[in-house]
Chain A
Amino acid sequence: MLWIAIRMLTGDKQKFYGLLFGIAFSTLLITQQLTIFVNLIERGASGVYSAPEAEIWVMDPVSRTTEVNYAMPSTALDEVRSVEGVEWAVPHLRAVASVRTSDGDLEGVTIVGVDDATLIGLPERLVEGEKSILSQPDTVLIDDVGVTNMFENGEDPIGQRLELNDQRAVIRGVADSIPSFTAQVTLYTKYSQALNYVPGTRNRLTFVLAGVSEGETIQAVADRISAQTGLKAMPREQLARSGVDYIIENTGIPLNFGITVALGFIVGVAIVGLTFSLFIRDNIKQFGALKAIGVTNFKIARMVVAQASLVGTVGYALGVVATVLFIWGFSGNPTFKGFYIPWQIPFVSLVAVIVILTLTGWVSLRSVMRTEPASVFR
């Protein structure tokens, strides 16, 4: 009977494709929107991910994320270095500045100053150039968002001159970093150079990046730093999480994406529910005839479940493939750089599809179950 059920479903091509479209569209909307949402809020932690060597981030107690920070006195670096269990500690500066481009435009940028000696704080990879080039005077590395935003006409950024706080800066490399949540252009330079690029204030050291000695745990050393210095010391994952939480708490993004995901679900229920009901209604006489002939309600229910399962499996697969193609297709665009689909998201979509089909299948099944076999004689 399952063979007949599948043939009944696929034989009505319009409704079959309608059902597939409904499920695929819902899956696409839910998976794609959740993927964008997760990847966007993860960008709240991009500053942390861009400095992979740092195990502990030390900051002023009022600082909350890599972007929302308050500078500390430069003595904080020595205080951290003096704490037991700290293997190394380097200064790290993150500040906002305005840059004037060679054609006179003004662009807001994030200046990241990394340790002069070790270059700890730089992203792991460069798209163009060598990390050691930072030793040359007035050198900055730009991230690929900067290349896209500031050199739209395809100009080569290498060798371009910029003006920062009345100082000259020359781009000599392109960093491969994850864009920040605001997708602001980021310029990496040596800490000593960054001090010149950021308008002068008394305190300009925003973070101290630290590594722990062998045999120590990161959390224990962070707690010790906090206790001894009065500064806030957070393990890398904890600061990354704070960055994500900050975006969730301070932007309307979760609500907006939540609404879109809910709409995807509702659209799925509406399209699939309507089409499935029409399909069942069109075939109600056939189901009635089958019941009269001697097909049990259980077998009829299995037929409807088989139809729903086929539509669900194919529609879901199409939706997930469409999402993968979407993410893959836009992966070259810096806006979508580093986007990936965590396994939990297709799982959530699968649950949504199962709920949609259970809901609509149950409603349709009820009408089949209620159909009296005697109705075929009317």
Chain B
Amino acid sequence: MQTMAKPIPQQAASMPAASAQTAISARGIIRDFQTGQSTLRVLHGVDAEIRSGEMTYVVGESGSGKTTLISIMCGILWPTEGEVRVFGTDIYALSDTELVNFRLANIGFIFQQYNLIPSIDAAANAAVPLIAKGMAIEPARRKAMELLDALNIGDQANKLPNQLSGGQQQRVAIARALVHEPRLVVCDEPTAALDARSGRRVMDLLRDVAVAEDRACIIVTHDNRIFDLADRILVLEDGRVTHDGSEMPEDH
């Protein structure tokens, strides 16, 4: 595992002042899945709010609906019912293309499996959102390099993902999530495959680089070893939010 990240320039500071507070507002979210002849309701009218400047955990047992909720909140899974506003935009009122462009402009993703492209180097992987936005390869790589430097893996920039350790790959994934200066960072089970110490380091790193005044950060996890690092915790049980507070309830 690398040492603590260098301070990252406040990219988000250049963004328009986000609603200071509410980054995501989800109201009455219901999500059904069709399983053969029957319908399975995974979310039962969930109301939730995610605020900027906070690291919000969405926690719950497997099957509680946390991944479904987060997918809906970041615009990659349509709710059966309900409304989701991200930075004031009703994202499911957008057309398909508008929604895709909205994600590209506003959301950074860190996937549990990283999902780096195996045949391009770390810098190019980190630059993918910029390239997707239409930036030329070289300027995009240069910008990604700055971020990789800040994450202490600048010297690994020319290596392919399979030449990097798991921790280094995760930092590349973090760089990819932040390189286009999104206002919302979504992180899926970042510590699932790590031991306790490494897990805390990753969370410290994420706090350093992903949390900013105008940026919201959502972490989906069921790793109770890192609950104390959250600013806010939403607990989901059987598709319902059962707790919303700065600490885990004692019965968990």
Contact present for B105 and A294 (CB under 8 Å): yes
Contact present for A294 and B107 (CB under 8 Å): yes
**Inter-chain contacts of B113 with A (CB < 8 A):** 285, 376
**Inter-chain contacts of B104 with A (CB < 8 A):** 293-295
Q: Which of A1, A10, A296 has the most CB of B within 10 A?
A: A296
Task: Given A373-B76, A377-B67, verify A295-B100 contact (CB < 8 Å).
Answer: yes
Residue of B nearest to A296 (CB): B100
Q: Tell me the complex Cα distance, A7–B123, Å.
A: 14
Task: Given A3-B137, A289-B109, verify A374-B120 contact (CB < 8 Å).
Answer: no
Q: Tell me, yes or no, whether B118 is within 8 Å of chain A by CB.
A: yes
Residue of A nearest to B160 (CB): A11
**Inter-chain contacts of A288 with B (CB < 8 A):** 115
Contact present for B97 and A296 (CB under 8 Å): yes
**Inter-chain contacts of B124 with A (CB < 8 A):** 4, 7
**Inter-chain contacts of B111 with A (CB < 8 A):** 289, 292, 376-377
Q: Which of B96, B101, B117 has the most CB of A within 10 A?
A: B117
B248: shortest Cβ distance to chain A, in Å?
A: 22
Q: Tell me, yes or no, whether B129 is within 8 Å of chain A by CB.
A: yes
Of residues 108 to 150 in B, which have CB atoms within 8 Å of A's CB atoms? 109, 111-113, 115-120, 124, 128-129, 131-132, 137
Q: Tell me, yes or no, whether A286 is within 8 Å of chain B by CB.
A: yes
B130: shortest Cβ distance to chain A, in Å?
A: 11
Q: Tell me, yes or no, whether B48 is within 8 Å of chain A by CB.
A: no
Task: Given A296-B97, A372-B76, A373-B76, verify A8-B103 contact (CB < 8 Å).
Answer: no
**Inter-chain contacts of B128 with A (CB < 8 A):** 4, 290, 293
**Inter-chain contacts of B117 with A (CB < 8 A):** 4, 7-8, 11, 283, 286
**Inter-chain contacts of B132 with A (CB < 8 A):** 1, 290, 293-295, 299
A307: shortest Cβ distance to chain B, in Å?
A: 12
Q: Tell me, yes or no, whether A202 is within 8 Å of chain B by CB.
A: no
Of residues 360 to 378 in A, which have CB atoms within 8 Å of B's CB atoms? 372-374, 376-378
Q: Which of B76, B112, B120, B128 has the most CB of A within 10 A?
A: B76
Of residues 61 to 118 in B, which have CB atoms within 8 Å of A's CB atoms? 67, 70-71, 76-77, 96-97, 100-105, 107, 109, 111-113, 115-118
Q: Tell me, yes or no, whether B188 is within 8 Å of chain A by CB.
A: yes
**Inter-chain contacts of A166 with B (CB < 8 A):** none
Of residues 4 to 20 in A, which have CB atoms within 8 Å of B's CB atoms? 4, 7-8, 10-12
B57: shortest Cβ distance to chain A, in Å?
A: 15
Q: Tell me the complex Cα distance, A294–B176, Å.
A: 12
Contact present for A12 and B131 (CB under 8 Å): no
**Inter-chain contacts of B109 with A (CB < 8 A):** 289, 292-293, 376
A44: shortest Cβ distance to chain B, in Å?
A: 53
**Inter-chain contacts of A11 with B (CB < 8 A):** 117-120, 160
**Inter-chain contacts of B112 with A (CB < 8 A):** 377
Contact present for B131 and A1 (CB under 8 Å): yes
Q: Tell me the complex Cα distance, A289–B188, Å.
A: 12
Q: Among B77, B116, B119, B176, which residue has its beta carbon within 8 angstroms of that of A7?
A: B119
Contact present for A374 and B119 (CB under 8 Å): no
Q: Tell me the complex Cα distance, A8–B125, Å.
A: 11
Q: Among B101, B107, B115, B120, which residue has its beta carbon within 8 angstroms of that of A4?
A: B120
**Inter-chain contacts of B96 with A (CB < 8 A):** 297
Q: Which of A286, A294, A295, A372 has the most CB of B within 10 A?
A: A294
**Inter-chain contacts of A290 with B (CB < 8 A):** 128, 132
Q: Tell me the complex Cα distance, A292–B116, Å.
A: 13
A15: shortest Cβ distance to chain B, in Å?
A: 11
CB pairs A–B below 8 angstroms (20 shown):
A3-B131, A4-B124, A11-B119, A289-B111, A290-B132, A293-B104, A293-B109, A294-B102, A294-B105, A294-B132, A295-B104, A295-B132, A372-B76, A372-B77, A376-B111, A377-B71, A377-B76, A377-B112, A377-B188, A377-B220
Beyond A285-B113, A286-B117, A293-B128, 17 additional contacts (C-beta under 8 Å) are A3-B131, A8-B117, A10-B119, A11-B118, A11-B120, A11-B160, A12-B119, A286-B115, A290-B128, A292-B109, A293-B109, A297-B96, A376-B113, A377-B71, A377-B111, A377-B112, A377-B220
6 cross-chain pairs, A with B, having the tightest CB-CB distances, nearest first? A11-B119, A294-B104, A289-B115, A373-B76, A374-B77, A374-B71
